[in-house]
Amino acid sequence: YYILNKPTGVTSTVSDTHAKKTVLDIVQIGERVYPVGRLDQNSKGLMLLTNDGDLANLLTHPRYHVPKVYQVLYLGKIQKDKIGRMQKGIELEEGKTKESKIKIITQEENKTLLEITLFEGRKRQIRRMAEKLHLHILSLKRVAIGPIQLGSLESGKFRKLTAAEISELKTAASV
């Protein structure tokens, strides 16, 4: 069980012939592990890697409602009605997204930093919600999955999860 602070430009797959670099190029260890969930190349932040398939399924399946927290920097000042629409769910091609929790961290005339908590993990969900609302994302960073926080782990670095963190993660995923 590992935590990685994925930098932008890195693909969150085991292998990809079109990718310059994958998460496994960074996390080079003696055992085979797999990324839990995905972050697109332009996104950065917390990724978990493990060879525990049961836990990976519990963490990624929407039925288990494991929260994933992101810090998203948008261009401009976002109107409250758009924040409300994101919270209530946005209609995407495959259906409406589940409700999310949104907290304004900072808001200025030329940029807005939001903390967005998702309880499902659709492909490029935050970016697709932004497109529907005509919002421009400047940066997107995942900072937590369930009880596991990115904290001060530097970009491009990884570490093993502690026994306590693994236990907390399993508890959060099995509720």
In this predicted model, what pLDDT tens digit does every residue of 95-106 receive, in sequence order? 999 999 999 999
Q: Return the pLDDT at 18.
A: 67
Q: Which residues are catalytic?
A: 40
Query: Percent of the chain at pLDDT above 70?
Result: 96
> If you write DSSP's letter for every residue of the chain in order, what string do you get?
-EEEEEPTT-B-SS--TT-S-BHHHH---SS--EEES---TT-EEEEEEES-HHHHHHHH-GGG---EEEEEEEESPPPHHHHHHHHH--EETTEEPPP-EEEEEEE-SSEEEEEEEESS--TTHHHHHHHHTT--EEEEEEEEETTEE-TTPPTT-EEEPPHHHHHHHHHHHT-
Q: Return the pLDDT at 58.
A: 83
In this predicted model, what pLDDT tens digit does every residue of 56-108 receive, in sequence order? 888 887 677 789 999 999 999 999 999 999 999 999 999 999 999 999 999 99
